[in-house]
Structure 1
Amino acid sequence: MSLEVGFSVTHRRYVPYAHAHYGGNLVDGAYGLAMFGDVATDLAIHTDGDESLLAGYSKVEFLAPIQAGDVVEVTASVTRIGTRSRDLSFEARVLCRAAPERGPSAADVLDPPVVATRATATIVVPAKTGGDAAGS
């Protein structure tokens, strides 16, 4: 396991058109937050051998839209380690975006990627048992 400040996990996902809820093929802000939940679970498994529970977000910033046809990359990084709690920072970046004006399957790589969402949150893991006091 890799329990240290700075440890991070990254996921990538294509945003299907079935997830668009609004005009312009926009998805709701909760889509990015759900991705943050998934990457936080992965991170906690790597750091603590447990899926963890999300205690709460302390900050969420919606900076740019996420749209159907995007390829989104989300990263969770450990910023603080407590006895049972871990503070995480999150960032969602749009790496690729559909370009329907050029054709039904056209898309572009965005260089640089567009930062869509940032957040900070706290997760909680079970108490360590036995002689293992990691994170204390």
Structure 2
Amino acid sequence: MIKTNPGLILSIVVLSALTLFLVGCANNQIFSGSKTGNDNQFLADFDLLNTTISGDMPILAGDSVAVAIDIKKGDVDIKVANENGTIAYQVDNVQTRNLMLTIKTAGTYTFSITGYKAKGSVHFKKVYE
């Protein structure tokens, strides 16, 4: 007859539960990638985006901003608004596209990107002609 050690069995069960817990925590990352911004651009490249990231740019009335969106997976929402709450651009569940925004009202604009299990890139760059 085989004898079992209750302490050994309990240790194995506890270690297995701890391993599953730690693996589950690793899957709850909110951002993996890079973002950079200044007065001329806000660039975000992400392998995982499960939060909102944002950058600010001062923009004059009539200025244009080139937008390059490349979504590989997941859902991404984008909002561009000035300090008074005036929205220049907003779209939920955006798809891959390139577009040009023309700003009507001068101000400091916040470029917000919200991801849900998303992978891809979103680039905003002022256009100088």
| TM-score, length basis structure 2 | 0.28
Greater C-alpha radius of gyration: 2
Greater per-residue strand proportion: 2
| TM-score, length basis structure 1 | 0.27
Greater per-residue helix proportion: 1
